[in-house]
Homo-oligomer: A and B are copies of this chain.
Amino acid sequence: MSDYASLNAAQLKELQTELLEKYNTYKQEGLKLDMSRGKPSPEQLNLSNGMLDVLTSNGTLKAADGTDVRNYGGLDGLPEAKDFFSQVLEVKPEEIIIGGNSSLNLMHDTIARAMLLGVYGSNAPWGKLPAVKFLCPSPGYDRHFSICELFGIEMIVVDMKADGPDMDHIEKLVKEDEAIKGIWCVPKYSNPDGITYSDEVVERFAKMETKADDFRIFWDDAYTVHHLTDEPDRLKNILAACKAAGNADRVFMFTSTSKISFAGSGIGVFASSVNNVNFIKKQLAMQTIGSDKINQLRHVRFFKNIENLKLHMKKQAEIIKPKFDTVLSKLESELGGKNIASWFKPNGGYFISLNTLDGCAKAVVQMAKDAGVTLTGAGATYPYGNDPKDRNIRIAPTYPSLEELEKAMEILCLCVQLVSIEKKLSEQAVR
């Protein structure tokens, strides 16, 4: 495991020949391995199959308050669903709106509504302003960025640090620019780095001075119960922090069961101050008569309570953890000590974030693809698909089997080495 910096051109070329041979062998296998999206594996989905049996034609189809869950009504969700998810997010039931099958949908619609109608306290719909800007801690979640791009919201990259986004930079920007209306955050086991924001970061978010009166933090707490260890990260409660700081209406929280129960048939959840919730409910009443209450009841009856949910997530972790370990041990064994890549070891979530040498990510992803390994497109973790250092690669280990993952990682590591050698050789040639 030599540091590549210590190798001369001849040594690099020799290594290149050796690795290329391995790469070409894999290429000839005609593999088809997909590590591109954070999809649960069939084994994970199996854990929730019992949910299909909890509501039947013979059972009671009434909610705790007597609501016939088959009929219309219930704009913000069943009482027991609001109660359950208020415990997940550590907020009050009246601070919850239960949505449809996806929190992405809730986030999209929240922005669409802000553009068309403004948020609670806005002087004008955001769409009527000359410019709307969002801060995007990056690397981040591509689907957040796509929503901004769709609606013409200008995205400003903020770097991620070890305990969350660069707060010095954020505080400076939001204090000066009234056009900055929001920020995207995945505060726990972040996508893709797996970082959980420190208490200090949460507090600074709650307290910071913003030029825009109607600035909002889009707090996508997607991985709030998705631990991989027995000592899970703790995330400070942002809504409580915002209230304490006198900025109760600053945060929109989102979560979902997409990666808890069924990815396509889960429950999306919105949480915020009662002011925000009431403001949005008035608009929401024009969009829907309420989300699928049968699915809400199914979820509540299946998970029963938070303790049981935690047990369910332990079973998920038992399936996922070996996959994360495989990725990490391959990275360590193949790339460790070579000074050509760095990565995070997350305590939870769905991703591992790999940084190559600058200018190598696109070439690595392409090379892996040529050998049958599909990764998230290089650049996808940055606004406009543009990673300025072209170095970040998001690895999604959950969907492939352990065997597939092992092979895919071998190929990925080969590609990182080969592209790095190419870079080193061209740099040496220039000197």
Contact = CB atoms under 8 A, between A and B. Distances in A.
Interface string A113-147: 10111000000000100000000000000010011
B109 A287 contact: yes
Given A70-B262, A109-B109, A265-B292, 11 more contacts: A52-B61, A52-B294, A71-B262, A100-B101, A105-B287, A108-B287, A112-B116, A117-B150, A265-B293, A265-B295, A292-B292
A109 B113 CA distance: 10
Q: Which of A105, A286, A295 gathers most chain B CB within 10 Å? A: A286
Contact of A39 (B56, B71, B109, B264): B71
Interface in A88-122: 100-102, 104-105, 108-109, 112-113, 115-117
A245 interface: no
Contacts of A109: 109, 287
Interface in A14-30: none
Contacts of A146: 285-286
Given A71-B40, A116-B115, A264 B286 contact: no
A68 B56 contact: no
Nearest to A72: B263
A74 B146 CA distance: 18
A87 interface: no
A275 interface: no
A289 interface: yes
A73 B258 CA distance: 12
Interface in A142-184: 143, 146-147, 149-151
Contacts of A283: 150
Number of identical protomers: 2
A102 B74 CA distance: 13
Interface string A273-291: 0000000000101111111
23 contacts: A39-B72, A52-B57, A53-B56, A69-B264, A70-B262, A71-B263, A72-B258, A72-B263, A73-B264, A101-B288, A101-B291, A101-B292, A102-B289, A104-B289, A109-B109, A112-B116, A143-B286, A147-B286, A149-B286, A150-B286, A262-B294, A263-B289, A292-B295
Contacts of A263: 70-72, 289
Interface residues of A, number: 57
A108 to B, nearest CB: 4
A94 B61 CA distance: 35
A208 interface: no
Contact of A292 (B113, B115, B264, B288): B264
A157 B110 CA distance: 31
Given A100-B101, A117-B150, A150-B117, A71 B264 contact: yes
Nearest to A399: B71
A42 interface: yes
A102 B294 contact: no
Interface in A45-62: 45, 48-50, 52-53, 55-57, 61
A19 to B, nearest CB: 34
A243 interface: no
Contact of A50 (B50, B57, B61): B57
B265 A102 contact: no
B117 A264 contact: no
